């Protein structure tokens, strides 16, 4: 016969689910402060308020291909020369650094990224005179950086870094042309660990 204390403890463990070491907001803020200093040095990074926004789902359907859009207000867009996308808790936090030429439409850029764990992502817009404007969004996603590699490793390495650029047709004089750039970025297979026999 099972004792009530044993049954209660078993039920409690079953309801608790897997243990997860969740970072506190203080730890997350310290992480961003470290990353901000590593990427931008001692430069001032100002809160963007409504000048820059990140559009990302609150919870990712697939952490290996999370859609992200960075939007810049029309008042700031003409001054922008670069955008940074930082995913704080990814193994390589600086996920993207976009540099813009003078003719590029800078109000929105969209991409897909892998997300390793519940994390903040930061978008930082840089102006021609060196000002930096930052915004953040929290996303619930996990395991995207450990998504399985493709079956054919040789083919994956052959395609690594290859790009495909697609342009939409211009609808009229002076209208922007949307560009879609696909970069092959397969995850390399992990080597088998050495086993001592």
Q: Which domains does the chain have, with CATH numbers?
A: 20-147 (2.60.40.2470), 148-197 (no CATH)
Tell me the pLDDT band of 17, cut-offs 50, 70 and 90: very low
Per-residue tokens: 162? 């290859």
pLDDT bucket at 12, cuts 50 / 70 / 90 = very low
Task: Compute the average pLDDT of residues 191-196.
Answer: 42
| pLDDT higher than threshold 60 for residue 2 | no
- The rounded mean pLDDT for the chain is 79
This model's pTM is above 0.75: no
What pLDDT is attached to residue 32?
96
Q: Is the pLDDT of residue 44 over 50?
A: yes
pLDDT greater at residue 173 or residue 79:
79
Banded model confidence at residue 168, pLDDT cuts 50, 70, 90: confident
The contacts of residue 66 (CB under 8 Å, 6+ apart) are 56, 57, 60, 112, 113, 114, 115, 139, 141, 144
* 40-54, 105-119, 136-150: least confident range: 136-150
């Amino acid at each position: 016969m099972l004792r009530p204390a044993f049954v209660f403890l078993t039920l409690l463990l079953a309801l608790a689910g897997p243990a997860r070491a969740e970072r506190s907001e203080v730890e997350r803020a310290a992480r961003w402060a470290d990353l901000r200093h590593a990427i931008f040095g001692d430069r001032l990074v100002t809160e963007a308020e409504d000048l820059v926004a990140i559009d990302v789902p609150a919870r990712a359907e697939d952490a290996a291909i999370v859609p992200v859009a960075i939007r810049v207000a029309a008042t700031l867009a003409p001054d922008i020369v670069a955008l940074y996308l930082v995913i704080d808790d990814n193994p390589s936090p600086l996920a993207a650094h976009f540099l813009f030429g003078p003719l590029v439409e800078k109000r929105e850029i969209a991409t897909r990224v892998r997300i390793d764990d519940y994390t903040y992502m930061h978008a930082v817009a840089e102006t021609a005179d060196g000002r930096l404007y930052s915004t953040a969004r929290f996303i619930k996603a996990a395991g995207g950086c450990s998504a399985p590699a493709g079956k054919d490793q040789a083919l994956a390495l052959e395609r690594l870094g290859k790009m495909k650029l697609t342009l939409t047709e211009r609808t009229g004089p002076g209208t922007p042309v949307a560009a879609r750039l696909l970069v092959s970025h397969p995850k390399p297979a992990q080597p088998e660990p050495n086993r001592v026999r």
